[in-house]
Chains A and B, each alone.
Chain A
Amino acid sequence: MTELRVERVADYWVARFQAMASPCEVLVDTDDPTVARRVGAIAYSEALRVERKFSRYRADGVVAQINAANGATVEVDEETAALLNYADACYRMSDGRFDVTSGILRRVWRFDGSARVPESQAVQALMPLIGWGRVSWQNPRLTLLPGMEIDLGGIGKEYAVDRAVGLIRAESPASVLVNFGGDLVSSGARRDGRAWQIGIENPAQLANANASRGGFELTRGAAATSGDTRRYLLKDGQRYPHILDARTGWPVEGAPKSITVLAPTCIEAGTLATLAMLQGVQAESFLDTQGVKYWCLR
């Protein structure tokens, strides 16, 4: 726990650290830096725990263990089972568009702003290894086909935010805003009854990332964003966003650059944003139908 820094900003304290490949911060509505440090440490240790356990890069983690099984059945712990159940629900309600087995597409898709769109044969070659429907999931036993992998990256960060805020609530009455790389949750109203003020990044002015187009207030609830305005491919005037449809292995046509959704929990907000992205041109109408508050940047 070396890289946890606290700093006073206006009338609150911020604890900052780096985890899950993102800058993370916890805004703590307090005048006491030790409270800020303690609350920040809870979020930091939870972020590290979730990252260690579920990152596919960590050889000692559960996901690495599942991916190394090569067709063998793996028995998972309760927490992993709960996440797999959630992934299973997302797969079903998105008709297969959202799929935790689609992570291997990153082998051919690199969203680095270039024009390197893969050959369709390269994508096609991976498709036999994608599909939650090919997986045997009987809690707590998971069996993948040899060569298949799972990647909980699409829900891990949001899950960590919800977990962290839950742990903080149990330990401290202070109002906090937990923000892991843009996925955030507010634990409740601030001391003076006000809400936390959230800004939205404006993709049209990326040179100035602090600029915000509009913004919103968050008292108790979550916001998550899908789509990354800096991660895309651009070829022949066509923009390929970061979001891939697991059924085809290709980016969703007509998807917005990014979508931010408000929901009671971060994982709901993140999943709704991703499911909306997967609707492509119908993203907004999907969100309207769901009756959630959102910002869509096209």
Chain B
Amino acid sequence: MQLKPKQTPSIRQALTVAACTLLSAPAVRAQGTWELDSSLLFYSEQDRVRAIEPVVRLKKQISEDEHFALQFVADSLTGASPSGAVPTTTPQTFTSPSGNSTYNTPANEIPLDPSFHDTRGAISFDWGRPLSRESRVVYQGHVSKEFDYLSTGVGATLSWDFNQRNTTLAAGASIGYDQVNPVGGAPVGLAPMPTFPTVKATSGDSDTKQLADLLLGVTQIISRTTLMQLNYTYGKESGYLTDPYKLVSVVDAGGNPVETLYEKRPDTRARNALYWRTLSAFGKDRLDFSYRYYWDDWGLRAHTADLRYRFEFGGGHYLEPQLRYSLQSQAADFYRPFLRQGESPQYASADYRLSEMTTSTIGLKYGVATRRDGEFAVRVGYMLQTGEDHPANAPGQLANQDLFPDTKALLFQVNYSLKF
């Protein structure tokens, strides 16, 4: 006999419902407060530059909204890079930047500076914290050092959420100060490269460069599955913007070099970039598309589109193909693959990076989740860079030379992250 019929099994049922509601509440799992993200990149251009770049990022989640992270990067470059001088039908001899030696380039080959090797170490930090319920600030700073270059910078980005956190506005600013100590001193721009053992004329042992950048951005949640981001950045550089190791050939009517000059660039540059990104989920898969338009007052114009699609296979496995296409549609005003005898421009550079060119990259990434919120991933990529091989105005023998040999590069990256 039940002594208290009032106490029906409904209590147990009500408890089951209450417990179920409680335990299905959003998982606020005890996340590791430390996060380690590491990667190792191998990059190899055919016959040119090879690079190894390890990156380690250590992040401490101080509270739900506050973090501090330190990142360490080491770059090791070896190989040869185009000096800017033109190829000829005869072997050429150049003085190395130090002025202590010479190097030769065989006939009909693009001159490469073989002394191109460098190691760079960089440390950066970012510290993000809330300012109020709707706003945050992230402070950043970096120092990086190569044997001939020092780069420093600090910045801050503020962001505000509103419209029920569907919209985020961001504004950021940063300043930088770089110092370059070229091997053998900074050459006088557009002065002729002397014949060894004569030493080049220099404008000093070192020079400096100042940078300032501003960012304005908006991120908008479009729907439950789509998010869009639009950023505008403006950057101003002033100081020594020339590459002290790049050369420009002066050719005669037959296209034969009569002289090699050190390049010279303007001492200011104003950069602009518009960046648009869309992230969209399709079930568990994810589409990531971005487009960037870049222009500056040197005359450069570039369009870059990047498309990635992540196929989720369940169990933490995913495959992500990537396509990237970049078109530098307009060269710098002072880009000159060569100069003709008698010309005396104010600025000139034959650096192929300032020319019109296209860069296409195809890549594939495979990732797998590891225990405790970690991930292991490998990425392989192939990059092809093409430019104007045979400029229409190339005189004499230059018309038969390939002035922009294609650059082909393979890249391989391993990534490992974990929380603890």
Give A contacts to B, CB under 8 Å.
38, 42, 45-46, 48-49, 77-79, 82-83, 85-86, 89-90, 93, 159, 162-163, 166-167, 171, 263-265, 267-268, 271-272, 275, 279, 282, 285-286, 288-292
Contact = CB atoms under 8 A, between A and B. Distances in A.
Which of B3, B7, B14, B27 gathers most chain A CB within 10 Å? Answer: B7
B355 to A, nearest CB: 53
Contacts of A79: 25-26, 28
A137 to B, nearest CB: 14
B272 to A, nearest CB: 42
Nearest to A43: B30
B165 interface: no
Interface of B: 2-5, 7-9, 11-12, 14-16, 18-19, 21-23, 25-30, 371-372
A83 B30 contact: no
Nearest to A89: B18
A166 B23 contact: yes
Nearest to B20: A265
Contacts of A271: 15, 19
B23 A93 contact: no
B9 A290 contact: yes
A290 B11 contact: yes
30 contacts: A42-B30, A45-B30, A46-B29, A46-B30, A48-B30, A49-B30, A78-B25, A78-B26, A82-B21, A82-B25, A89-B15, A90-B15, A93-B14, A159-B23, A163-B23, A166-B27, A264-B16, A265-B19, A267-B19, A267-B23, A268-B19, A272-B11, A279-B4, A282-B3, A285-B7, A289-B5, A289-B7, A289-B8, A290-B11, A291-B12
A283 B116 CA distance: 85
Contacts of A38: 371-372
A171 B372 contact: yes
Given A48-B30, A86-B21, A286 B16 contact: no
Contacts of B18: 85-86, 89-90
B21 A289 contact: no
B11 A275 contact: yes
Contact of B14 (A46, A89, A263): A89
Contact of A286 (B4, B27, B30): B4
A93 B15 contact: yes
A85 B15 contact: no
Contacts of B27: 166-167
**7 closest pairs, A vs B, by CB?**
A82-B25, A89-B18, A49-B30, A45-B30, A290-B12, A285-B3, A86-B22
Contacts of B26: 78-79
Contact of A167 (B4, B22, B30): B30
B8 A265 contact: no
Nearest to A288: B2
A272 B25 contact: no
A279 B7 contact: yes
Contacts of A265: 19, 23
Nearest to B11: A93
Which of B9, B18, B29 gathers most chain A CB within 10 Å? Answer: B18
B340 to A, nearest CB: 70
A206 to B, nearest CB: 30
Contacts of B12: 268, 272, 290-292
B23 A162 contact: yes
Nearest to A163: B23
